[in-house]
Amino acid sequence: MAEPTRNEHVALRVKLLEQLLLEQGLIADGEVDAVLDDFLATAMPLNGARLVAKAWLDADFARQLVADGSRVAAGLGMRVAPLGQPEVQLRVVANTDAVHNVLVCTLCSCYPLRLLGTPPTWYKSLEYRSRIVRDPRATLAEFGLHLGPDVDIQVWDSTSHVRYMVLPQRPEGTDGLSEAELIPLIRRDALLGVAEVPATVGGRA
C-alpha cells in the first residue's frame, strides 16, 4: 500500500480536528462545510478590483469608498469578515502623486480575504512583515516598484478588527475603458500597494 501523500495527511488532521470540535460542541454539524462553500463562492481578487474600477469611474463613489469602505463594500454584497464572524472594518487608502500606500500585518497575516482572495506567501513571511516597516522604499524596489524621493510612503498595519485595501491610481491611457475592461488590469499586488496598475493586462500576479 502506498504511503499517504502530504495532502492526505493534512486532510486527515483537519478531519480529526473537526471531529474534536463537534464532540466538544464548539461547532455544529456541517458548519465547516458551509463556511468553506461561502468562502470559495465569494472570496476573490475580483471583488477588490470591482471596487477600484467603480471608484475610477465615479468620483463620488471613490469618496464614499475612502470615507466608509465597510458600508460601500456591504452595499455591493461584499463582506470583509468570514461567514459567522463579527464584521471587521474596511479602510480604503488612496494613492496620489504625492503619497503611496502599502499594506502589511506585522503581528500575523490579517488580510481582506474576501476582497483580494488568498494572501500571497510573501505577505505572510516574517521578512516582508519586518522589512516593509523598516525600509519600505527598498522593499518596494525589490518588487519592481521604484518610487521617487518626493513620494511619501505610508505603511498601514492590519489588525484583527481592521483590514486595509489600497485604491491605486488609474493608469494613463485608460480613459476610454469601461468598468468591465478596467477590472482585468487591477491585480492583487496593486491592491496591496507593492505594484502599480499597468495600462495593459499583465504584470505581477
Active site residues: 105, 108-110
Cell numbers given for 203:
504584470
Angle at 130 between CA 124 and CA 131, to 5 degrees: 105
Amino acid at 167: L
Q: With CA atoms as reference, report the closest residue to 114 among 43, 36, 165.
A: 43
Nearest-CA neighbor of 72 among 42, 45, 50, 39? 50
For 105, the 3-state DSSP assignment is coil
C-alpha cell at 65: 469608498
Alpha carbon separation from 75 to 51, 61, 68, 78, 170 (Å, rounded): 11, 12, 11, 7, 23
Q: What is the largest CA-CA distance in the chain?
A: 64
**What is the β-pairing status of strands 162-167 and 152-157?**
unpaired
